[in-house]
């Protein structure tokens, strides 16, 4: 897993693993910030960590290739990005396409990039949500596997919305990773997802904690 920030999604994965609902070994957590909360959480849970400082590299892509070299060395079979706030070089990530997922706080394809909650509020949207998608070279553009939707409520501001959505992210990410661990989902190039060998026409939806087609 890669994270730049506090790591609440990592905590959700650890909790699901410990509860027996997520059949994975969490083999490493990496970050571009050596003070990321995610690294502290990982250490507390006994998961090996590493951090790499982007400033130590002359070019952005040198950092990215080193990052993926380190990840490959961990023996990880899959990679989860949760709050990893960097754009990754397309050539560096290419060997991981189909094995790498990202959680993004919007109903993609709406609001790729930053400030998703503010943009949804400014647009007057009546619903908002989070998406888990396969990572491709296109920023927040890979095929969406599953989404959690929430209604906007009167008085919502950016931080209230982010906080409310986060609770659903913590259900969505472990549920998608469990499908991946069970070998039930596949990336179908260039931009589709298959569940149990059947192409999905739309992302799975989180309802009452469960993913439905």
Q: Give yes or no for residue 166 binding ligand GAR (CB under 6 A).
A: yes
Q: Give yes or no for residue 161 binding ligand GAR (CB under 6 A).
A: no
Strand order in the sheet with 198-199: 185-188, 192-195, 198-199
Which residue in 2, 9, 39, 135 binds ligand GAR (CB under 6 A)? 9
CA end-to-end span of the chain, whole Å?
26
Return the half-sphere exposure (C-beta side, CA atoms, 13 A cut-off) of residue 173.
30
Q: Give yes or no for residue 169 binding ligand GAR (CB under 6 A).
A: yes
Beta strands 127-134; 192-195: pairing state: unpaired
Which residue in 104, 117, 128, 133 binds ligand GAR (CB under 6 A)? 104
Phi-psi region of 98 (alpha: psi -120 to 50; beta: other; left: phi over 0): left
- Residue 153 CB, shortest distance to ligand GAR, in Å, is 18
Q: Assess whether 104 carries a catalytic annotation.
A: yes
Among residues 104, 117, 128, 170, which one is catalytic?
104
- Residue 67 CB, shortest distance to ligand GAR, in Å, is 16
**Footprint (CB under 6 A) of ligand GAR, residues 20-59:** 38
Which residue in 14, 16, 41, 82 binds ligand GAR (CB under 6 A)? 82
Task: Confirm if 149 and 173 have CB atoms less than 8 A apart.
Answer: no
Strand order in the sheet with 79-82: 79-82, 100-104, 127-134, 144-151, 204-207, 210-212
Which residue in 3, 14, 41, 93 binds ligand GAR (CB under 6 A)? 3
**Footprint (CB under 6 A) of ligand GAR, residues 122-151:** 130
Q: Give yes or no for residue 5 binding ligand GAR (CB under 6 A).
A: yes
Task: Confirm if 211 and 168 have CB atoms less than 8 A apart.
Answer: no
Q: What angle do CA 76, 77, 80 make, to 5 degrees?
A: 80
- Which residues contribute to the site for ligand GAR (CB under 6 A)? 3, 5-9, 38, 82-83, 103-105, 130, 166, 169
């Amino acid at each position: 897993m890669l994270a730049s920030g506090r790591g609440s999604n990592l905590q959700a994965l650890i909790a699901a693993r410990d509860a027996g609902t997520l059949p994975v070994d969490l083999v490493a957590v990496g970050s571009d910030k050596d003070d990321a909360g995610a690294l502290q959480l990982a250490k507390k849970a006994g998961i090996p960590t590493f951090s790499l400082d982007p400033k130590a590299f002359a070019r952005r892509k040198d950092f990215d290739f080193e990052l993926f070299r380190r990840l490959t060395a961990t023996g990880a079979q899959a990679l989860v990005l949760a709050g990893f706030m960097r754009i990754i070089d397309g050539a560096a990530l290419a060997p991981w396409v189909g094995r790498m997922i990202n959680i993004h706080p919007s109903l993609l394809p709406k609001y790729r990039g930053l400030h998703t909650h503010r943009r949804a509020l400014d647009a007057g949207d009546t619903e908002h949500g989070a998406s888990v998608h396969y990572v491709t070279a296109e920023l927040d553009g890979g095929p969406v596997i599953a989404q959690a939707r929430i209604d906007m409520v009167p008085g919502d501001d950016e931080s209230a919305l982010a906080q409310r959505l986060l609770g659903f992210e913590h259900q969505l990410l472990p549920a998608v990773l469990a499908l991946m661990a069970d070998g039930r989902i596949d990336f179908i190039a260039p931009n589709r997802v298959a569940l149990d060998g059947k192409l999905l026409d739309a992302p799975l939806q989180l309802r009452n904690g469960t993913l439905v087609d």
